[in-house]
Amino acid sequence: MIRKTQAQKVIKFVRNLLFGVLFGLILVLTISVISTRVSGGEPQLFGYQLKTVLSGSMEPTFETGSLIVVKKVLQNEALQVGDIITFRKDEQNLVTHRIIEELKTGTATSYVTKGDNVEDADPTPVLADNIVAIYTGLTIPYAGFLLSFASSKIGTGLLLLIPGILLLIYAAFTIWQVLKEIDGKTHSDNKASL
């Protein structure tokens, strides 16, 4: 009897832990997608941003579809050869490549960049003012595909709908278990009174 009670407690703890982790993950993803949609940008928390890798130019450092964590570059932050930076290629496009050379002309600094999987350097040096962020070293493989899908209209709808359905299923399961326990106690009480 004692073993059964302990086993039930362990199962209940594991079930609640898994539910909490799943619910927390869905909640974080939902908040991330909603904040992205509202801001029109990419998810950001405490000065760190998540960027989706859209091309293979930096393979094998990070694979296409991965999420990378970058940190906003401060105005006077020293960058060096070997750093991986995210910079504004033009008004619409951001690129993440490695610095291979620093160029100083008077008071202006610019950087020659190159993708790890590309033979030639980028054609135009990057002005320090166009650098948006620096790579922190944290990569989440293939999570970019999930974030891109979650940011789509269908993905956002599913991300808002799925947690509600999961909560309803969990509530129904919990109610069913409580009713089963009550029925078991009532049934055992009826046997005891006979």
Rounded to whole angstroms, the Cα distance separating 121 from 113 reads 6
| CA 127 to mean position of chain CA atoms | 29
32, 35, 55, 188: which is the annotated catalytic residue?
55
What percentage of the chain's residues is helix, strand, coil (to nearest 5)?
Answer: 45, 25, 30
134: enclosing H helix or E strand? strand 131-140
| 55 catalytic residue (yes or no) | yes
**What number of other Cβ atoms are within 10 A of residue 72's Cβ?**
14
* Active site positions, annotated: 55
